Structure 1
Amino acid sequence: MTTRRYKKQERHEQILLELKLKPHVRVAELAKQFGVTTETVRRDIEDLGRDGLLQRAHGGASARHAGAHHDLDARRHQRVAERERLGRFAASLVAEGSSIMVDAGATTMEFARFLAFAETRVTVITNSLQVAMILGQSPATDVRLAPGEYLPREAAVVGTETCEYLANYNVDACFIGAAGLSEVGVTEAIAGFGAVKRAMMRQSRARHFLIDASKFGQTHMTRVASLDEIGSLVSDRHPTAPLSGVLRERGVRMLSPDIQKSAPARV
């Protein structure tokens, strides 16, 4: 009997389907099922792991637990191309001479990197050590780092002192990441991050949420903002229905490199 040959996309879909039916899959069993080498299956698992769709484990892979959230270093190595695309586009939204608040996260780090490359003259207030260090390399940027309780796994500060510091400033816009976006609103998985994001929103004339498409449909413990409070959603691609329809009804401005053909309005 001839073994069916699975294409790469078909293998990826089948692996994810298997993980919906059982908590763990093994490389050797998948290789036999697909009629490919174990190295091919390992590459498939690495691809899916980088996209955050499963958790790599010894000898195979495990299902990604609902609500699971990796630390900053792990997230930086997931969806790298998409995050770079989002960060480059978001940086183009910042107007020369403006003042902004930027929170901590892998996506906002990419945003900061492209903003530094552009040498846009801007004042940045942040709770992220990584964002501060990246933008501190640009001679055009005035960086102000908030005090607070340090989270080593996130290279960021949070807490009452952080929020009180942010309340001393009024800025043109905030650029904020998030762990999830669904019909519930914008949500966050890391303790302390939600309060900092809300503090930044209160002090900003315009709000921009930088959320890559892998987080669409996800809901985490802490609600950061209702859909009415978002302002602009900046992503690597346009949301699909039904989320796109709900966002449109709530007046959310959806921006991405795919749909923003003309020069974007700057803040």
Structure 2
Amino acid sequence: MRDFITGVRFFGRGLGIMLQSPRLLLLGALPAVLTTLLLTGGLVALVIWIDDLAALVTPFADDWASTWRTAVRITAGVLLFGAALTVGLISFSALTLAIGAPFYESIAEKVEDDLGLAPGEDLPFWRALGLGLRGGLALVARSLLFTIPLVIAGFVPVLGQTVVPVLLALVTAWFFALELVAVAYYRRGMTLKEQRTTLARRRGLALGLGLPSSLLCAIPLVAIVVMPIAFTGGVLVAHEALRNEPK
């Protein structure tokens, strides 16, 4: 529980650091704006084509009575939109950090310098972008292995309205935290596996940062401001988790 509270406190420190440096806040918000526009465009396109897609995934209902065919395809449309929205929320942070990897690398360097933390390697623009894209895709793919079954389980009466939302929030928080510490760890030459292992030893710390960050990022437009704050907290969490690592 102490680690969890520390993680929440690091999120608060990230807010304080960003408020003291509006330039860094703006720099970190730009990738989030671009990601928001991309995902919003995708959802709008989905809504436009939802009827055709619902028919495409329910060919078995072509010969059914009109009432049942309509009911099945409305259900399919709702499920498709819900799945797309869930994937969008899950991939938002990974996509933002991937697109903005060079920007966030600059933020990490500035935060480490200002706080007197051990500096990491300065990554060239294209290397930072490549690491961000590769790591982001890997984390999204891994997170979907957990979140998709939980989303499906959400339709189970009682269980879907009690246990599943809590598990989904915790899983999302964990993977969000992994994304937030990635740049700081890439600057230290750590692989994605090494990052997971290091953070798993301080899972409470990761959840303390990831839970408020992921919940706030689920609010439209708020995520644009939250992302640089959460990332700054991620730099602090990354260094804290490394303190007890074997030399």
TM-score class, shorter-chain normalisation, is under 0.3
Q: TM-score, normalised by structure 1?
A: 0.24
Q: Which has the higher contact order (CA 8 A, sep 6+)?
A: 2
Q: Which has the higher strand share?
A: 1
